[in-house]
Structure 1
Amino acid sequence: MPASGRRARGEVQSRTEQQIIEAAWCYFKDDMSQADIAARLGLSRSTVVNYLALARARGYVRVSLHPEIFRQREIAEELKRKFALKDALVVPGQPDDPAADLLRVARAAADWLPELLTAGDRLGVSWGETVYHISTEVEAIAIPGLDIVQLVGSRATPLGFAAETCSANLATAFSANCINLHAPLLVQSSDLAEMLRREPVIAAQLDAIRTCNKVLFAAGSVGSDSHVVRSGVVSEATLAAYQARGAAAVICGRFIDRDGNPIPGEIDARIIGTTIDEMRGKELGLLAAAGADKTEPTRAALRAGFTTHLVTCSEIAAGLLADD
């Protein structure tokens, strides 16, 4: 449906832009044909077509597919039964274009997320490329009394998917209160981490994490090109040690095995952020996963028991339903 324009308040709209907005309203809201719009506005049909394209390009119109279409698909129902999910959303994958595949999943999750939130919720938000794209694709919808909480500390990364950016983007879109975690994700020693956790400001932010009733997260892979390696959270040597102990996924900077059990390690005491145990027991645990290489991390996250809702691509869904 038409969204409000991004023009500054008080700026005069040109006649052409008024017609673009009117054409978009008639087409998407009033369900008028392009021919009828052309007659109403005194334009050619080709001009109406161009105006509708401009309305979408300028962000005046957001067209989304209703999640119910995908939730009713048999594969989603099978995922719900197999992993005891409340709901699942499967979108057609694009295996030949990983970037497009990820963006398709992110957009589906972004369209679905507002339906899963209610006034007064406290949503914990993790980090990473998938969560970042969800935060940029979500529609601006005000949700009264909503808190958006950063689940893990900050980490300078060349990838551009900082945790505070993800939470801030969602807070802006939902006109929500943003509670960032003003501490590094990983510090040099466990003693320093403990001191920071006792700082009153950080302690209050960690308490906000514990009281989240809903969480949005992604499952990271444990390959040499994984997010935690490229971001410098762990070295390749440390990653190899976790792999030797059966690591299958990374959740909020912490490793779990293929059955979803935490794999304790020395970095756990140096991480400032949510724990695997704190992820459990939420009203909503929304996991978004794209790309066939994320099949095993997704399976591990599902077995961990804190996912209630899943958004994924058809390749991952097929892999999850295949025999182990």
Structure 2
Amino acid sequence: MTRRIPGGDEAFDDALRVARMYYLLGLTTTEIAKQIGLPRPTVSRLLSWAKESGLVEFRINDHRERQLSIETKLEDMFHLADVKVVPCPPDQRVEERQRSVAAFTAHYLNGLVKAGSTISLAWGATISLLAKSLIPKPLPGVTIVQLNGSGNSGLGTEFAAEIISTFAQNYTAAAHLLPIPAYFDDPNTKEAMFRERSIRRIRTIAETAQILLFSIGVPDADSYVYRAGYVENREFIALRNQGVVGDIGTVFFRVDGSYKDIEMNLRSSGPELATLADHQHAICLVAGEKKLPGLLGALRGGFLNTLIIDQPTAELLVKNS
């Protein structure tokens, strides 16, 4: 209950009027004093009484509290080292949420990268957005390396090279491209190429990087692997029939995290998914509900240890897990 101000109703009305002018209109105590004809010390006393009596109440709406709750739940559910939920309105377009996740990750990444760091990148639409959001941090001895091949498509080769180049420029880093196809025609050709000393050297750099960055490619979202022609229609149908829900670095997997018996993976230049979480920071960026089945598969397979995700998708993930 509001405690009455000494001086009766007139003083109460003055306190109410002063509080509205100060808190709602943003006027200073000097401006209020001039307008209502009271001394400034009296205005200050009325404001103090308004707070002490409960006439004016303050409330802090900390939406971060809910985010922290979701982060903790996901860390516990999937045994993750770190989860970051990026606040986004539930009705926000997926493209805007993707940009928010990319911008957040750029800040997060700069907190991890230090002199001598190696960053391995699985190129794709989300990592391209991240590249465009990077915050310059020149450092000595940083290395940027391409995780999986990008051949088979001229546009894909340029796309991957641009991402690697942007990261390298941002950190004044050495850049290592992986000049092989995304998918080989024959598994034997792949094995022979992987034995080549120059290719083996780049793959070793990628496999031992402290930081790994990737997203989940899914058939029903704006995934570069699918829209750039890496997967032919007959292959797409075969993947569907095998229960594939997504890919990481051009290696496909199912919703239960299984992947070793998927035929197309035998021809993929991508990584061994089971070892991804061995990186100190295996960071997966996700935005949008269409990526949820793929994300669930990646989590069940244990392919990541760090997740950065938009809040609406994170809430769905908790609900469906």
TM over 0.5: yes
Please report how far the alpha carbon of residue 111 of structure 1 lies from its aligned counterpart in structure 2 after TM superposition: 1.3
Q: Which moved more, 1:200-209 or 1:134-143?
A: 200-209
Choose the corresponding residue for 2:162, options 145, 160, 165.
Answer: 165
Distance across 1 between alignment mates of 2:289 and 2:156: 21
Counterpart position of 1:141: 137
Distance across 2 between alignment mates of 1:256 and 1:120: 33
Choose the corresponding residue for 1:108, options 96, 99, 104.
Answer: 104
Give structure 2 stretches of 5+ with no counterpart.
1-63
Do structure 1's residue 118 and structure 2's residue 147 form an aligned pair?
no
Matches of residues 278-297 of structure 1 in structure 2 within 5 Å? Answer: 278-297=275-294
Counterpart position of 2:88: 93
Do structure 1's residue 80 and structure 2's residue 75 form an aligned pair?
yes
Distance across 2 between alignment mates of 1:213 and 1:167: 16
Distance across 2 between alignment mates of 1:201 and 1:302: 33
Distance across 1 between alignment mates of 2:139 and 2:73: 32
Please report how far the alpha carbon of residue 230 of structure 1 lies from its aligned counterpart in structure 2 after TM superposition: 1.2
Give structure 1 stretches of 5+ with no counterpart.
1-68
% identity of equivalent residues: 26
Asked whether the 8 Å contact 1:123–1:216 carries over to 2, the reply is: yes
Higher helix share: 2
Cα 1:305–1:188 shift into 2, 3 Å: same
The TM-score, its normalising length taken from structure 1, stands at 0.72
Please report how far the alpha carbon of residue 170 of structure 1 lies from its aligned counterpart in structure 2 after TM superposition: 1.1
Describe the SS at the equivalent of 2:278.
coil
Please report how far the alpha carbon of residue 263 of structure 1 lies from its aligned counterpart in structure 2 after TM superposition: 4.4
Describe the SS at the equivalent of 1:103.
helix
Do structure 1's residue 204 and structure 2's residue 201 form an aligned pair?
yes
The TM-score, its normalising length taken from structure 2, stands at 0.72
Distance across 2 between alignment mates of 1:81 and 1:198: 40
Task: Choose 1 or 2 for highest CA Rg.
Answer: 2
Which amino acid is 2:114 matched to? T
Which amino acid is 2:279 matched to? K
Choose the corresponding residue for 1:250, options 247, 251, 255.
Answer: 247
Which amino acid is 1:112 matched to? Y
| 1:162-184 Cα distance to aligned partner (Å, 9 max, x none) | 22222221121111221111222
Asked whether the 8 Å contact 1:221–1:250 carries over to 2, the reply is: yes
Choose the corresponding residue for 1:186, options 183, 190, 193.
Answer: 183
Count of matched residue pairs:
256
Counterpart position of 1:235: 232
Which amino acid is 2:262 matched to? G
Distance across 2 between alignment mates of 1:148 and 1:71: 35
Matches of residues 54-69 of structure 1 in structure 2 within 5 Å? Answer: none
- The RMSD of aligned alpha carbons is 2.4
